[in-house]
C-alpha cells in the first residue's frame, strides 16, 4: 500500500520542480508567432515527450545515464550550456529575426523537444526528483505510482500551456516583448545555475 503522504509529497515536489506557472510565460515567448493550432500541437508534443523521458528514468533511474557513461552533474552542465544559448536568442531577438527571414512555406523551428520538453520540463531537476522518488518506492506498485504522479503533474503543465493564449492576449505585443527579454535574462541565470550545480558536484565550484 502506497502511503498517501508519499503521493502528496511526490506530487508537490515534482510540481514545484517543473514549475508550470513559471514555464508558461517561457512557453509563450518560445512559441511567439505560432498559430493557436501550432501552439496546441507544440504543447501536446512537449508534454508527451517529457512524460516519456521521465517514465524512462522512473523505470531505470541512474542506470540509463550510467549505461552511456553520463553522470548527473555532466547532464546538468550540458543542459545549462544549451539553455544559455536559447536565452541568448531570446535576449537578442535572434529567434524572431530567423522567423522573419524564412519563407512562409518553410516550417518554423519547433521548440517542443528542445528546449521545452528537455531541459525545461524534463530537466535535471525533474529527472533527479523522479529518480529519488523511485528509490523511495521500489517495486512494481511504487513505479506505477510514480508514473501516475508524473502524468498528473504533466496534465497540469499541459493545461497551463493550452491557456497561454489568454495570458498572451492580456499582455499584448509590447508586454510579450518585454517579458521575452526579461525571461531571457532569467533563463540565462537559470542556465548558469545549472552549470554551477554541475561543477559543484564535480568539486570545481564552492
Measured CA distances, 34 to 31, 48, 69, 102, 165 (Å): 6, 19, 38, 14, 11
Residue 105 CB coordination number (10 Å): 5
Residue-wise pLDDT for 106-160, tens only, equals 455 688 998 899 888 998 878 888 887 887 787 888 889 999 999 999 999 999 9
In this structure, how many other beta carbons lie within 10 angstroms of the beta carbon of residue 138? 9
Cell triple for 14: 515534482
Q: What pLDDT is attached to residue 107?
A: 52
For the chain, the first-to-last Cα distance in angstroms comes to: 42
% the chain with pLDDT above 90 = 23
Residue 1's pLDDT band (boundaries 50, 70, 90)? low
Q: State pLDDT tens for residues 43-68.
A: 999 999 999 999 999 998 767 777 88
Residue 136 CA to residue 206 CA, distance in Å, equals: 29
| Cβ count near 174 (within 10 Å) | 8
For cell 512557453, name the residue.
27
Share of the chain above pLDDT 70, in %: 88
* Per-residue pLDDT at 105: 39
**Residues 48-83, buried b or exposed e (16+ Cβ, 10 A)?**
ebbbebbbebbeebbeebeeeeeebbebbbbbbebb
Give the model confidence (pLDDT) of 77-97 as tens digits: 887 787 788 778 778 766 555
- Region of 31 on the Ramachandran plot (φ > 0 left; ψ -120 to 50 alpha; else beta): alpha
For 177, how many CA atoms within 13 A lie in the half-sphere containing its CB?
7
Q: How many helices (H) and strands (E) are present in the chain, helices listed first?
A: 9, 0
Cell of 176: 510579450
Distance set, CA 63 to CA 14, 119, 140, 143, 150 (Å): 21, 19, 17, 15, 19
Amino acid at each position: 500500500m502506497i502511503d498517501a503522504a508519499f503521493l502528496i509529497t511526490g506530487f508537490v515536489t515534482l510540481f514545484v520542480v517543473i514549475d508550470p506557472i513559471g514555464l508558461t510565460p517561457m512557453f509563450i515567448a518560445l512559441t511567439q508567432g505560432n498559430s493557436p493550432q501550432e501552439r496546441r500541437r507544440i504543447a501536446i508534443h512537449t508534454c508527451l515527450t517529457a512524460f516519456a523521458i521521465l517514465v524512462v528514468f522512473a523505470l531505470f533511474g541512474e542506470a540509463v545515464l550510467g549505461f552511456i557513461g553520463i553522470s548527473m552533474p555532466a547532464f546538468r552542465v550540458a543542459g545549462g550550456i544549451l539553455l544559455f544559448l536559447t536565452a541568448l536568442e531570446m535576449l537578442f531577438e535572434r529567434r524572431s529575426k530567423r522567423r522573419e527571414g524564412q519563407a512562409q512555406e518553410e516550417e518554423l523551428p519547433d521548440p517542443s523537444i528542445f528546449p521545452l520538453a528537455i531541459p525545461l520540463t524534463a530537466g535535471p531537476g525533474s529527472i533527479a526528483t523522479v529518480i529519488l522518488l523511485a528509490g523511495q518506492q521500489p517495486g512494481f506498485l511504487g513505479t506505477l505510482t510514480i508514473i501516475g504522479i508524473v502524468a498528473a503533474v504533466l496534465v497540469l503543465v499541459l493545461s497551463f500551456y493550452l491557456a497561454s493564449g489568454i495570458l498572451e492576449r492580456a499582455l499584448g505585443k509590447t508586454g510579450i516583448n518585454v517579458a521575452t527579454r526579461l525571461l531571457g535574462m532569467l533563463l540565462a541565470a537559470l542556465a548558469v545555475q545549472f552549470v554551477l550545480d554541475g561543477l559543484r558536484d564535480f568539486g570545481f565550484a564552492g
